[in-house]
């Protein structure tokens, strides 16, 4: 009500309030789009969103490299021709342009020197650190202004470890799909039907988008106690997927045309770009979760309104 009263004092905002308040949300019995927006922005302001995003991005940054090291150490032991280049291409699709070259030297080093003795220790370390990263994401979810229930530490960590393993399998399945697509589908059809190549690449892009959507849905569904009360594929996960695509595109344009990280910091500039990219997407991840939490809060308010 406070936001409504303040906006009504301004001529242009008054019509915006009246318009959004006249559109009722289906299934929410009298609540309007303005009610949703008011509660959503209240959660963002009072939920210290950027501070939570900083915590998530740090933990994620600590988790991603041991996991990538484990995957990269497997490359010399996989008897598939050009598997390393296909995997590198898969990772580059998910990264900003200026940070793509950051992994090339690591790939060349691991490809030429198999380190079988490291697999078990790196795998254990990657699972622990990835679970810590997922746990930080879940902790960021539970600190939302709209979340009232929380799990204890041990239960939260067990959920985090299970989700970490699930996300790892999801990524591996995606890499296998990328390998199968390049070797058995794209290369064969390219020689037969050149006109269908663009459609195949478009289908591949949609697969990567669905992969992001599915991964985000996993985090939202298992992240909090209230998460399981909503649908697995939620509006917040859809919004996050779209925002990640937009953020990646705009961030790539900014880095390519305006940023001077490489001129100021040299080769370490790619690392700074990568860290900034993680922080931006951590904010996006929380924005989508806040939408789900707001919708759940409105559903809980329906009995009180009646």
Q: Could you read off the pLDDT of 98-143 as tens digits, one per residue?
A: 555 555 665 666 556 555 555 667 667 777 877 888 888 888 888 7
| pLDDT of res. 157 | 85
Segments of the chain with pLDDT less than 70: 1-14, 16, 18, 27-30, 65-84, 86-88, 90-120, 122-123, 148-149, 182-201, 256-270, 301-306
Contact 224, 138 (CB under 8 A): yes
- Dump pLDDT digits (tens) for 200-242: 667 777 888 888 899 999 999 998 887 777 888 888 899 999 9
Nearest CA-CA partner of 114 in 149, 163, 74, 158: 74
Burial state string for 69-83 with b = 16 or more CB within 10 A and e = fewer than 16: bbbbbbbbeeeeeeb
| pLDDT of res. 41 | 80
Nearest CA-CA partner of 291 in 15, 21, 33: 33
Structure tokens at 235: 């509006």
Collapsed DSSP state (helix, strand, coil) of residue 192: helix
| pLDDT of res. 238 | 92
Domain limits, the chain? 36-305
Cα–Cα distance for residue pair 284/109, rounded to 1 Å: 34
Taking only Cα atoms into account, the Rg of the chain, rounded to an integer number of angstroms, comes to 22
| pLDDT of res. 266 | 61
């Amino acid at each position: 009500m406070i936001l409504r009263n303040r906006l009504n004092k301004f001529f242009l905002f008054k019509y915006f309030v009246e318009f959004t308040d006249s559109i009722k949300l289906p299934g929410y019995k009298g609540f309007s789009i303005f009610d949703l927006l008011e509660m959503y922005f209240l959660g963002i302001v009072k939920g210290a969103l950027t501070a939570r995003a900083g915590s998530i991005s740090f933990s994620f940054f600590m988790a991603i490299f041991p996991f990538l090291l484990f995957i990269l150490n497997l490359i010399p032991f996989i008897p598939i021709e050009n598997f390393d280049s296909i995997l590198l291409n898969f990772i580059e699709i998910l990264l900003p342009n200026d940070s793509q070259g950051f992994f090339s030297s690591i790939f060349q080093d691991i490809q030429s020197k198999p380190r079988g003795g490291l697999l078990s220790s790196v795998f254990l370390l990657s699972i622990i650190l990835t679970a810590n990263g997922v746990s930080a994401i879940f902790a960021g979810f539970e600190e939302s202004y709209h979340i009232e229930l929380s799990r204890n530490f041990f239960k939260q960590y067990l959920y985090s470890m299970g989700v970490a393993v699930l996300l790892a399998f999801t990524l591996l399945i995606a890499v296998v799909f990328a390998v199968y697509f390049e070797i058995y589908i794209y290369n064969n059809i390219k020689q037969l039907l050149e006109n269908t190549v663009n459609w195949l690449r478009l289908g591949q892009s949609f697969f990567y988008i669905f992969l992001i959507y599915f991964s985000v849905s996993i985090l939202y569904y298992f992240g909090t106690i209230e998460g399981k009360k909503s649908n697995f594929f939620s509006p917040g996960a859809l919004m996050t997927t779209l925002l990640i695509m937009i953020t990646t595109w705009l961030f790539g344009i900014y880095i390519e045309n305006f940023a001077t990280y490489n001129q100021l910091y040299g080769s370490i500039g790619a690392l700074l770009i990568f860290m900034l990219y993680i922080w931006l997407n951590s904010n996006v991840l929380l924005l989508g979760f806040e939408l789900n939490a707001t919708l759940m809060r409105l559903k809980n308010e329906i009995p009180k309104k009646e």
